[in-house]
């Protein structure tokens, strides 16, 4: 039996594939106008954040920045409609499916429903105990993109200090130093001042105020390793938030993923293409994985009002 959620998703994907990009831009602009009339405060937040993050100052189909940003998004979704339906149908619970529906709906309508119905706020990001119960013999947790240690602290808060070992990878030197200081009281943490990729070597790094990105033409040379080369023991849990390098890092963990099937929490939001490419790669590396989609964020007024922290979980 088809549920309304399934029907709504099929209808929405049909709109993206059947309508032209100019028609979708006009529909989106009308959705933004409706939002302004029915929920002015939320609309003001949208305008503030879209202007600050993407330079979009007007929700107008004739505005070149609006048309370029959302036009390319709508084109990609329409061109990959069948693959998005496959992703939706392959997700293993309706929390996943409903969150994906609400995210795509928001991109076309700017509905505030996303804030109330499409965002997870029961568990801290990455650590959903219903999906990821603790490993019986203790976790070997690998944090790719450990930043200042915040996610490792969340991991320990959720799973306790009975873990076997934690590997913390952070490529930015000053942030790595801060992470070591923040985590100095915790035992059995292996600190790696390296990035994670498909093989050992040197990558170009662009450093920003609160993040970094591994780029082919990045400004600063930085060391990278693969998890298969760097970690001998079986891994139970891998978290990846590495600013767009997730595909390479997954390929560099192929042997661990094939052999041990560790729990995976992988960010999808750094490029639009990763919404499809990363789940497909995970299933290619180990078809036994079950996939779950989650969108994390702050549902309160003042939190980021559009999709920005969406993940694929695999177990």
Encode pLDDT of 224-249 as tens digits: 999 999 999 999 999 999 988 999 99
Please determine, for residue 213, whether its predicted confidence score (pLDDT) is greater than 60.
Answer: no
What is the reported pLDDT for 210?
47
List, for residues 149-172, the tens digit of each pLDDT value.
999 999 999 999 999 999 999 999
Phi, psi (rounded to 5 degrees) for 3 = -90, 160
Cβ-in-10-Å burial (0-12, 13-18, 19+) of 101 comes to buried
- Residue 148 DSSP label: T
| Average pLDDT across the chain, whole number | 91
Phi, psi (rounded to 5 degrees) for 278 = -70, -50
How many alpha carbons lie under 13 Å from residue 103 in its C-beta half-sphere? 26
CA–CA dist 249, 256 (Å, integer): 12
List, for residues 264-281, the tens digit of each pLDDT value.
999 999 999 999 999 999
What is the reported pLDDT for 221?
81
Phi, psi (rounded to 5 degrees) for 56 = -90, 110
What the block records as the tokens of 129 is 């105990």
What is the reported pLDDT for 206?
62
Domains of the chain, with CATH numbers?
4-117 (no CATH), 140-267 (3.40.50.150)
What the block records as the tokens of 278 is 């990363």
Please determine, for residue 301, whether its predicted confidence score (pLDDT) is greater than 70.
Answer: no
What is the reported pLDDT for 285?
98
User: What count of other Cβ atoms lies within 10 Å of the Cβ of residue 27?
Assistant: 16
Kindly state the helix (H) or strand (E) to which residue 58 belongs, with its residue range. none
Please determine, for residue 90, whether its predicted confidence score (pLDDT) is greater than 90.
Answer: yes
| 24 touches 110 (CB < 8 A) | no
User: What count of other Cβ atoms lies within 10 Å of the Cβ of residue 187?
Assistant: 9
For helices 64-79 and 81-90, the axis angle rounded to 10 degrees is 70
Q: Is the dihedral of CA 276, 279, 285, 287 positive or negative?
A: negative
- Residue 131 DSSP label: T
CA–CA dist 277, 295 (Å, integer): 17
With CA atoms as reference, report the closest residue to 179 among 214, 143, 226.
Answer: 143
Q: Is the dihedral of CA 115, 91, 273, 281 positive or negative?
A: positive
Beta-strand runs (E) in the chain: 140-144, 165-169, 189-192, 195-196, 201-207, 212-215, 220-225, 237-240, 263-267, 291-296, 309-314
Kindly state the helix (H) or strand (E) to which residue 177 belongs, with its residue range. helix 173-182
CA–CA dist 10, 191 (Å, integer): 46
First vs last Cα of the chain: how many Å apart?
Answer: 26
Helix (H, G, I), strand (E, B) or coil at 202: strand
Phi, psi (rounded to 5 degrees) for 139 = -80, 140
With CA atoms as reference, report the closest residue to 145 among 183, 171, 113.
Answer: 171
What is the reported pLDDT for 9?
97
Helices (H), 81-139: 81-90, 94-109, 113-117
């Amino acid at each position: 039996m088809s549920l309304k959620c399934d029907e709504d998703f099929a209808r929405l994907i049909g709109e993206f594939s059947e309508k032209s990009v100019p028609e979708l831009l006009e529909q989106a602009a009308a959705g933004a106008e409706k939002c302004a009339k029915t929920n002015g405060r939320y609309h003001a937040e949208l305008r503030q954040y879209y202007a600050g993050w993407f330079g979009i100052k007007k929700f107008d189909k004739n505005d070149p920045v609006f048309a370029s940003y959302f036009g390319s998004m709508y084109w990609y979704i329409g061109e990959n409609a069948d693959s998005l339906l496959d992703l939706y149908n392959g997700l293993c619970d309706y929390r996943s499916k409903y969150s994906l529906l609400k995210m795509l709906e928001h991109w076309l309508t700017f509905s505030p429903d996303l804030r109330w119905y499409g965002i997870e706020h029961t568990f801290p990001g990455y650590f959903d105990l219903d999906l990821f119960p603790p490993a019986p013999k203790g976790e070997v947790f690998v944090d790719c993109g450990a930043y200042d240690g915040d996610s490792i602290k969340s991991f320990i808060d959720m799973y306790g200090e009975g873990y076997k070992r934690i590997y913390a990878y952070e490529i930015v030197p000053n942030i790595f130093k801060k992470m070591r200081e923040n985590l100095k009281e915790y035992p059995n943490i292996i600190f790696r001042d390296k990035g994670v990729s498909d093989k050992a070597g040197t990558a170009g790094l662009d450093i920003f105020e609160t993040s970094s990105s591994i780029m082919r033409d990045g400004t600063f040379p930085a060391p990278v390793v693969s998890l298969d080369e760097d970690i001998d023991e079986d891994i139970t849990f891998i978290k990846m938030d590495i600013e767009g390098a997730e595909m390479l890092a997954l390929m560099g963990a192929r042997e661990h993923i094939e052999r041990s099937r560790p729990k995976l929490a992988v960010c999808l939001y750094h490029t639009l293409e990763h919404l499809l490419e990363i789940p497909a790669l995970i299933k290619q590396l180990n078809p036994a994985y079950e996939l779950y989609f989650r969108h994390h964020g702050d549902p309160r007024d003042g939190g980021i009002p559009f999709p920005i922290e969406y993940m694929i979980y695999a177990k």
